[in-house]
Amino acid sequence: MTPLRQRMIEDMRLRNLSTETQRAYVHYISGLARYYQTSPDQLSLEEIREYQLHLVEERLLSAESVNTFVSAANFFYTVTLETPWPEGALPRARVPKRLPVVLSAGETQEFFRHVTTIRYRAALMTAYGAGLRVSEVVALQVGDIDSRRMLIRVRQGKGKKDRYAMLSPRLLEVLRAWWRAQHPAGQAHKAAPEEWLFPGYRRGRHMNVGSLQTVCREAAQMAGIAKRVTVHTLRHSFATHLLENGADVRMIQVLLGHSRIDTTARYTAVSPATIAKTQSPLEHVLPPRRR
């Protein structure tokens, strides 16, 4: 590892950036160095802008990926190298507004019918039943399940924030069934609070995110669902189904851990049932029709 990379990693750690963000930033700065075959601290702003254009026009990266490169470059040059860049030196790409993919209630039932392995079924039902992100599901510990208050504690979710999610009675049944299957009667085992709820096959590790995503994708295919289904699709479906059942948008915001209400409000756009139930103000303006 070069001293420059080490310095950048230390700068990111000092600012408590997530492991995923650190990995992405290093990836994009390494790509920049490989492209020019030189140390990135020797590059001019104009060369960096040319590389950004290369990512857009030749690599055909998504707007989100290009913007991640911009964030990585801004961090590396203005923080690690302390370069006095002008504000907005690298323009951000406009991100298209896309509606989230959501399963109907029938599709959700059919999906879970095709998840036959109990450990993956319990994990995916947790994602849907509590509206958790995939990283939050696999990182759950035994002590995070509060069956007395019917809550799930989510530790250090997105944005390094703790929050509580709902624990429904049906989900609690599923988790208890999974626990009994993992620890059959007669096998002495006292669970420690810090024990992984969904342990991985490697000792001391939790369930792998990639394996859970693979099972999710395969179950959707076997269920005949044409949509692109990921674990995050279950989180989207959780929010939309809550909305359709009359839950308040601000309560959904809290459950999902969104910082901004407009992030949560987009679910109203994918819920035809909610739109259909909403009464037009025209109904209060015109007099009722005589029969």
List, as one string, the DSSP characters of 220-240: HHHTT--S---HHHHHHHHHH
Residues with catalytic function: 133, 158, 232, 235, 258, 267
Q: Which spans in the chain are helix H?
A: 3-14, 19-36, 45-57, 63-75, 105-113, 118-130, 134-138, 169-182, 209-222, 231-244, 249-256, 261-265, 272-277, 282-285
Spacing of C-alpha 178 from chain mean position: 24
Residue 147, token pair as written in the block: 């069956």
What are the two backbone dihedrals, phi and then psi, of residue 66, each rounded to the nearest 5 degrees?
Answer: -60, -40
Residue 212 CA to residue 218 CA, distance in Å, equals 10
Residue 173, token pair as written in the block: 């049944």
- Closest residue by Cα to residue 160 from 10, 11, 18: 18
Contact 123, 175 (CB under 8 A): no
Residue 175 CA to residue 196 CA, distance in Å, equals 13
Contact 223, 126 (CB under 8 A): no
